[in-house]
Amino acid sequence: RDFNERCAQCSEVNWGLTDGGRFYCRSCHNVTEAKKPQTSTNKNTHHHTNYLSVYLLYLDGGCEWYVCEGFQLVLKKQAEALEVLGVCPQMKDEILCNFWRRYLQKSKQAYCNRPAGETVKALSVCDSSTDVDSEPERPSLLHLLSLSESEGDLQTDCSLASSISKVSESTSVYSGSVDGSLYLMKDQKEKLRMTMPMTLSFCYMALLWLREPMTLSDLLRFVVEGHIPYLNVFQHFPEKMTLCGLDLKIFCVESWPVYEEVYNKMLELAAFLDLPRFPDITDSCFLHPNMLCMKYLMEANLPDELHNWTCRVVKKICIGEVDFLTLVPGNKSTRKVKYDVLAVAVIVVVIKLLFLLDDHYEWLLSDFAEERNKNNNEGGPYFEFKKWYKVIKCSLDVEQKKLDEERAKYLWRCEKPLFYSVKKKSKVLKRRQMVVTLQNQFGKLSGSVRPAEKPKPSSFQLSWSEENTDGSCFHGHSLKGILQEKCGLLTAMNPDYWLCTVKLCTEKLCGHLAHYREVDFPQSYHFVLRLFSFLLRIQPSYIHDEVCLIEHKLFNKKLCKKPKYNTGLRK
């Protein structure tokens, strides 16, 4: 009552206190820097603590929480996991936190004159009719926005029980959160509503702002491998945040994250937040095509000399320029770059330039290199496409089979039991306990061994060492057998090239620049696409689109007719 200053956001005088002692506006949730003077512990403080405990019991061990608070916890867990993986510590407390605050303000969930939603209106009416001295202090969004606060503090965060009882009549019957039912209403779909895939969009946007050496494909792969919380992440929610009913539809995920969905939501989110131009992607950044091409050449077990050719292609079509690579949110005139897809597409184009990939010419070059290697006693061995194909296919088939088995065996049900109604909670818990008991008993009888811990995450899925004596590493192999010197420059011996498509598709509803069907292209070309699609965990058609776009830039739309080729690999 002694703090009579007007709120800077809504000009109202309706203040409350947070657990940290700061004043917040009950009308718009704005938090001031002013703090209540510290006083010694007295009976009133003790009375407040007991009063709060009574309401916690009234809520059957739960507390009032909002959907945005649930997503806040998800982002917090994901940011902490990224920090463990080596991401800059400032990502969580500075970059991601500011993005989240801006989203709450833009979506009118906080930092505005009147937060959106009928629930907030009901709470404000209830608060205004209650005596200030007798009501528990309403938590502010400062607690929600502080990503560095402990989980224990969040567990004690609860608000006026009388307001909960009024709102719960229309909301908590169907969900554990206050605004779960309102969150899924039709009018909410018009806004950029928060979803679980959008949490990954937030993380990737923060990584891109910091220019961290982690691509979107790496981020999604770490999610699938379990290094970043996403699937069943609500298991980490505090016990007092009851999750049931419609909350499961919001936070329960039963599908793997999709590259295109996360990327498109990131672009939409950056424009929605009115973010400025992102930091420049220069040639010294990891996301630059020259850097990423080097990484994927090593992972694909290709000769190091190919990097010179990828750099020449990047320079030729000007895709290494800062203005081309740097994201400018909301600017429709600039092309949005998928850095990992762009890099592997450049490599595919270079392989086509040198080996043609028409199911004929690459095998002739391989036979020629094999003959030269028999008589070559000096220098490194010549690169044999046929031998590389056999080594890569063997490793790729093994890794693909392992990945398919892991996905098939994945248990989508989480360890934490879920219930859609509070009335069925006891039945669900008993049933879950029975299932766990039976699993343990059958496990002892069958002598099953618990799976070993997952290996530490790595940027490379396939690793090759030049120290191997079996000749399975091709990094140091030479391209002299397929190159010739012309005007002081090394050029490919083969002057021909075939385009993947004569004309790019301009239909926006199509979603692709070119249509890709495996039967329409050489098998060697499809094999290269399959290799890089496995490394990026995306469909080959997306890489094919980027290859077509690079080809049209490289040859300035001077089209050449595709040769007639066989559908099988020649041996």
Q: Where are the domains of the chain?
A: 1-37, 66-110+192-275, 285-426+461-564
56 with 158: CB under 8 angstroms? Answer: yes
> Cα separation of 219 and 338, whole Å?
13
Residue in this structure with the two tokens 């950044």, named with its chain if needed: 285
Apex 58 CA angle, 236 and 145, nearest 5: 40
- What integer is the mean pLDDT of 479-495? 82
Indicate the Cα dihedral angle 222, 227, 232, 234, nearest 10°. -120
Whether 107 shows a pLDDT value over 60: the answer reads yes
Whether 353 shows a pLDDT value over 60: the answer reads yes
197 with 258: CB under 8 angstroms? Answer: yes
pLDDT in tens, 118-172: 444 444 333 433 333 333 333 333 333 343 333 333 333 333 333 334 444 444 4
> Cα separation of 437 and 256, whole Å?
29
Residue in this structure with the two tokens 């608060």, named with its chain if needed: 127
In this prediction, residue 214 carries a pLDDT of 95
pLDDT in tens, 175-191: 678 888 777 775 555 57
- CA atoms 457, 451, 530, 255: torsion sign: negative
- What integer is the mean pLDDT of 309-330? 95
In this prediction, residue 529 carries a pLDDT of 97
pLDDT in tens, 444-461: 776 655 555 666 788 888
- The better pLDDT of the pair 269, 377 is held by 269
460 with 535: CB under 8 angstroms? Answer: no
Would you state the structure tokens that stand for residue 221, as one six-digit string? 């792969």
> What end-to-end distance do the CA atoms of the chain give, in Å?
87
Whether 51 shows a pLDDT value over 80: the answer reads no
420 with 244: CB under 8 angstroms? Answer: yes
- What integer is the mean pLDDT of 347-360? 95
- What integer is the mean pLDDT of 335-364? 95
Distances in whole angstroms, Cα of residue 511 to Cα of each of 332, 504, 541 = 16, 12, 11
- What integer is the mean pLDDT of 533-551? 94
The SS3 assignment for 245 reads strand
Phi-psi category of 467—alpha, beta or left, where left has phi over 0 and alpha has psi -120 to 50?
alpha
- The better pLDDT of the pair 36, 458 is held by 458
In this prediction, residue 187 carries a pLDDT of 58
Whether 478 shows a pLDDT value over 70: the answer reads yes
> Cα separation of 362 and 352, whole Å?
9
**How confident is residue 66, by pLDDT bands cut at 50, 70 and 90?**
confident
Whether 282 shows a pLDDT value over 80: the answer reads yes
Distances in whole angstroms, Cα of residue 478 to Cα of each of 112, 248, 338, 504 = 63, 56, 30, 35
Phi-psi category of 222—alpha, beta or left, where left has phi over 0 and alpha has psi -120 to 50?
alpha
Percent share of the chain, pLDDT over 90: 40
> Cα separation of 254 and 412, whole Å?
6
In this prediction, residue 568 carries a pLDDT of 42
Phi-psi category of 245—alpha, beta or left, where left has phi over 0 and alpha has psi -120 to 50?
left
- The better pLDDT of the pair 365, 113 is held by 365
Would you state the structure tokens that stand for residue 404, as one six-digit string? 């398919």
Apex 342 CA angle, 405 and 351, nearest 5: 85
- The better pLDDT of the pair 475, 427 is held by 475
Whether 552 shows a pLDDT value over 70: the answer reads yes
Whether 201 shows a pLDDT value over 70: the answer reads yes
Whether 512 shows a pLDDT value over 70: the answer reads yes
Taking each continuous run of H as one helix and of E as one strand, the counts in the chain are 22, 5
Whether 504 shows a pLDDT value over 60: the answer reads yes
Please name every residue paired with 492 in a beta bridge, in sequence order, or none if there are none: 483
pLDDT in tens, 397-425: 999 999 998 888 777 766 666 655 556 66
- Rounded to the nearest integer, the mean pLDDT of the chain is 77
- What integer is the mean pLDDT of 203-229? 95
162 with 94: CB under 8 angstroms? Answer: no
> Cα separation of 412 and 78, whole Å?
19
What is the pTM for the complete model shown? Answer: 0.76
Task: Please name the helix (run of DSSP H) or strand (run of DSSP E) that holds residue 23, with its range, or none.
Answer: strand 22-25
In this prediction, residue 508 carries a pLDDT of 65
- What integer is the mean pLDDT of 33-43? 53
Whether 550 shows a pLDDT value over 80: the answer reads yes
Task: Please name the helix (run of DSSP H) or strand (run of DSSP E) that holds residue 372, with its range, or none.
Answer: helix 361-375
Indicate the Cα dihedral angle 186, 191, 195, 198, nearest 10°. 160
Distances in whole angstroms, Cα of residue 264 to Cα of each of 99, 211, 261, 267, 268 = 17, 19, 5, 5, 6
- Strand 31-35: give its sheet, edge to edge: 15-17, 22-25, 31-35
Q: List phi, psi (to 5°) of 318.
A: 60, 40
Provide CB contacts within 8 A for 95, sequence distance 6+: 206, 209, 210
**How confident is residue 16, by pLDDT bands cut at 50, 70 and 90?**
confident
The SS3 assignment for 143 reads helix
> Cα separation of 33 and 443, whole Å?
57
In this prediction, residue 551 carries a pLDDT of 92
User: Each residue of 388-418: b (16+ CB within 10 Å) or e?
Assistant: bbebbeebbeeeeeeeeeeeeeeeeeeeeeb
Percent share of the chain, pLDDT over 70: 72
In this prediction, residue 398 carries a pLDDT of 94
In this prediction, residue 374 carries a pLDDT of 86
